[in-house]
Structure 1
């Protein structure tokens, strides 16, 4: 059976409580007993010495044994809670009360006795009890001496066998049992109160646990996330309320992420729909002209056949370019890229990129100008990714510049960076559309898609590539007048 947190806590508290109470009672009893014995020993510390003074015959016990026995018997009757023994210098019992209980030991250790006589009474000193071989008792002791020298010791057990019998009888008394029962009931009530307090203080934790289980069992659906939120005191010093507040914040974060994922999924679907349309346009044109070449080849002259083949080739190129852009954008989105930065002159790269677009520009009667025509700037960046950025921006300029237009590429130094401007006098971009042109789903209303060309992903890819190259891109445009794209890269040292 699995136990909840409160049950485990309650069992642990009960166990610890009983252990602590048991140890406390044992220690209290032990301390009380030691204190009581110490008090008795201090109270009767001079008893043996006074008896030796009052009964000097004890110093000559060997000479007057009968008199000594009489003295010990009288003392035992006068003080029934004490036991009286005479010891020789080795600790051997030489005299005791006649007709008393048999001895379990007839010799005692003298070390505690000698310590007692030397006034070492900082704590209770226990000595051997001749009537009980397994227990020690507090005592009073005094030296016995005569003209012949040291004779032994008067050894008085405080709380002898009769005392133990009386204490045992009192412990068995009904009043003691009632007192013990009262203490037990009080402890149980205290324990019940503690458990009730624990249940009260852990109630918010149980509520939080139920809310967490409800959310997780519902697979973190938006409705479950909202229902799982509870009211907590955010500024409370209570740790459970802090935990509950943190849980609510986590649910809010999950909810916002869920909405963001839904939005991203919607964007992905929309982008895929747009890309599917862009793919279908060149593919349909390619298929149409190829079918015409196949079915009407005999009736076509060489000029018509060459034009159809040219259209098929351009459609295939557009199709390949769009597919490549889709793969490239996906790699950038998923972080599957690496940089190979190096220092190199940009002039040769720019002329190579422009040469790649000369045929396309000539078909549209466009002029591509590099200004200045000669320069020696070097940059430290990834050459391949810079080539992709320039190609995408120039391709975008060609597609959005009317026939007979002009595209200018400017290269200059500014604030320690090499700046690149790609300027065209094409159709331009509206002020409202400028913030959207790097969104892969966006296509402006005035986008030029004639002859099977497409909006593509060139600008979104360029934006991401420049971010990787620690750069940004600015756009300035005016409808009907043209557009300027500007970005900068670190100059090589």
Structure 2
């Protein structure tokens, strides 16, 4: 049943229960303290009562302690003071005379230790002694009865008699009823005050926060979220609101990033579709020409169209391979297989690999290094792919009679070596260098093949080096061309 209650009702109920427990506890403790204080005051007030009675009444000092005369004396005293009961005890504590009715006495012997403590003033008030007419301890006054120098007994005076207890309990019950009514009225007032304060300082701000969250949910997160504003209240609500606003700010930031990524994706798709459409259109055009005019074309012209078609098909395949490779690298599932090998070996292998291509363009490809024994530990396949992309990019942008250098340079940093691919090509505009490795980048300068190229090769190069734990850097040379460099760890 409690689970069905709202947070506000649970808080109000819990606070009311705690308040009632505190009030009842306070009343009980107050009454206990009041009872002890009253008993202490009454016993202190009647401290010398028994001693005065013994001193002022010679009959009590005689040896006829159990005579009817003393009983009548006690009866007269009770009429004058109904809140007292009088008992005469012998030296063993046995009751030998008393003011009450005989059938009301349930205890024949009284423990003398409290009486002696009272007489010797060796214990703090209130001191309680046995009640001959009941089972609860009573405050009292006591004095020793002497016959000359001989101790013959005790005068034991109960300060709160049975009659006193009866009247006091009746009045006490009335007072308790008034207290209960007062507590009930106070609780109701407290409950109303609690409801008002809870609504104002806690529940209402919480409802405002819930309303704002529901409004955001209904919005469907289709646009940027607005920060939540609630009335200043308890620090907990403010902390919760601040935390939620931080989450909203982070969500808005992610929303902006997603919009940016989506815009970049659309732009990239536009560029990709253009780069795919160009070779496809050329391929389709040449093939249609061959198909329609196959009987009219001269063998030489026909062979030219076939070679152009093949070139466009190869270009298209290369481009599609780059797209798949980039998608694979961005998937986050690519790892490096490290192995140790001499760096000079892979540089000379690449020089040999591109020898025909550079000779065709009348470009010099050279390897420059001082120490051929330098070894590194990395993924040889990915490193070869990186250098392959950089060399192809350099060949594409280097004019006839240009020079491309593959350089291996030892750095001042321990265990680090730098690989540089330097060309004497057309260089890179300084304002385009920050975007050079963006897949959407298109250079403003035309390559030596007469076409502009989308930057997938350099984008792939950067991602491969990130996997190898390195970073590519680019700068323009002092004379002409550009240099691409990265560092590897030396073994």
TM-score of Structure 1 vs Structure 2, range by shorter chain: 0.7 to 0.9
Partner of 1:22: 24
- The correspondence of residues 20-169 of structure 1 with structure 2, limited to 5 A, is 20-55=22-57, 57-58=59-60, 64-88=66-90, 91-99=93-101, 102-133=104-135, 135-144=136-145, 152-169=153-170
**Structure 1 residue 254 and structure 2 residue 256: aligned?**
no
Task: Confirm or deny: 8 A CA contact 2:398 2:448 kept in the other structure.
Answer: no
Partner of 2:330: 333
Task: Confirm or deny: 8 A CA contact 1:397 1:424 kept in the other structure.
Answer: yes
- The correspondence of residues 186-225 of structure 1 with structure 2, limited to 5 A, is 186=186, 188-202=188-202, 203-222=204-223, 225=225
What is the CA deviation profile of residues 105-141 of structure 1, one whole-angstrom value per residue up to 9, with x for unaligned ones?
A: 44444554454445343353333333233x3322233
Deviation of 1:20 after TM superposition, in Å, equals: 0.9
State the secondary structure of the residue aligned to 1:439: coil
What is the CA deviation profile of residues 63-84 of structure 1, one whole-angstrom value per residue up to 9, with x for unaligned ones?
A: 6422331232233223211112
Partner of 1:484: 483
**Structure 1 residue 385 and structure 2 residue 387: aligned?**
no
In structure 1, runs of 5+ residues without a counterpart are: none
For 2:221 and 2:270, how far apart are their aligned partners in 1? 29
Aligned residue pair count: 486
For 1:321 and 1:92, how far apart are their aligned partners in 2? 123
Question: For structure 1, which segment, 280-289 or 460-469, has the greater mean C-alpha deviation from structure 2 after superposition?
Answer: 280-289
- The correspondence of residues 91-490 of structure 1 with structure 2, limited to 5 A, is 91-99=93-101, 102-133=104-135, 135-144=136-145, 152-171=153-172, 181=181, 184-186=184-186, 188-202=188-202, 203-222=204-223, 225-226=225-226, 228-230=227-229, 238-282=235-279, 318-341=315-338, 344-372=341-369, 375-416=372-413, 417-448=416-447, 455-477=454-476, 481-490=480-489
Deviation of 1:427 after TM superposition, in Å, equals: 3.5
Alignment CA distance shift 1:327-1:69 (3 Å): farther
Task: Confirm or deny: 8 A CA contact 1:365 1:403 kept in the other structure.
Answer: yes
State the secondary structure of the residue aligned to 1:129: coil
Computed over aligned residues only, the root mean square deviation of the Cα atoms, in angstroms, reads 4.0
For 2:22 and 2:482, how far apart are their aligned partners in 1? 84
What is the CA deviation profile of residues 147-182 of structure 1, one whole-angstrom value per residue up to 9, with x for unaligned ones?
A: 897655433222112212332343466x98667655
Task: Confirm or deny: 8 A CA contact 2:129 2:139 kept in the other structure.
Answer: yes
Alignment CA distance shift 1:386-1:125 (3 Å): farther
Question: For structure 1, which segment, 482-491 or 470-479, has the greater mean C-alpha deviation from structure 2 after superposition?
Answer: 470-479
Task: Confirm or deny: 8 A CA contact 1:428 1:479 kept in the other structure.
Answer: no
Question: For structure 1, which segment, 137-146 or 38-47, has the greater mean C-alpha deviation from structure 2 after superposition?
Answer: 137-146
Question: Which among 8, 11, 15 is matched to residue 9 of structure 1?
Answer: 11
Task: Confirm or deny: 8 A CA contact 1:278 1:456 kept in the other structure.
Answer: no
Deviation of 1:365 after TM superposition, in Å, equals: 3.8
Alignment CA distance shift 1:490-1:400 (3 Å): same
Alignment CA distance shift 1:456-1:474 (3 Å): closer
Question: For structure 1, which segment, 377-386 or 481-490, has the greater mean C-alpha deviation from structure 2 after superposition?
Answer: 377-386
Deviation of 1:255 after TM superposition, in Å, equals: 1.3
For 1:449 and 1:162, how far apart are their aligned partners in 2? 125
Alignment CA distance shift 1:45-1:285 (3 Å): farther
State the secondary structure of the residue aligned to 1:132: coil
- TM-score, with normalisation over the residues of structure 2? 0.82
For 1:324 and 1:61, how far apart are their aligned partners in 2? 132
Task: Confirm or deny: 8 A CA contact 1:318 1:453 kept in the other structure.
Answer: no
Task: Confirm or deny: 8 A CA contact 2:209 2:230 kept in the other structure.
Answer: no
Task: Confirm or deny: 8 A CA contact 2:290 2:305 kept in the other structure.
Answer: yes
For 1:304 and 1:378, how far apart are their aligned partners in 2? 52
Deviation of 1:389 after TM superposition, in Å, equals: 2.1
Deviation of 1:261 after TM superposition, in Å, equals: 0.6
For 2:336 and 2:89, how far apart are their aligned partners in 1? 101
Deviation of 1:422 after TM superposition, in Å, equals: 1.4
State the secondary structure of the residue aligned to 1:429: coil
Deviation of 1:264 after TM superposition, in Å, equals: 0.5
Alignment CA distance shift 1:350-1:74 (3 Å): same
What is the CA deviation profile of residues 298-320 of structure 1, one whole-angstrom value per residue up to 9, with x for unaligned ones?
A: 99999889877766766565455
Question: For structure 1, which segment, 37-46 or 307-316, has the greater mean C-alpha deviation from structure 2 after superposition?
Answer: 307-316
Question: For structure 1, which segment, 422-431 or 448-457, has the greater mean C-alpha deviation from structure 2 after superposition?
Answer: 448-457
For 2:332 and 2:409, how far apart are their aligned partners in 1? 31
State the secondary structure of the residue aligned to 1:126: coil
Question: For structure 1, which segment, 413-422 or 286-295, has the greater mean C-alpha deviation from structure 2 after superposition?
Answer: 286-295
For 1:49 and 1:72, how far apart are their aligned partners in 2? 15
State the secondary structure of the residue aligned to 1:222: coil
Deviation of 1:40 after TM superposition, in Å, equals: 1.5
Question: For structure 1, which segment, 25-34 or 75-84, has the greater mean C-alpha deviation from structure 2 after superposition?
Answer: 75-84
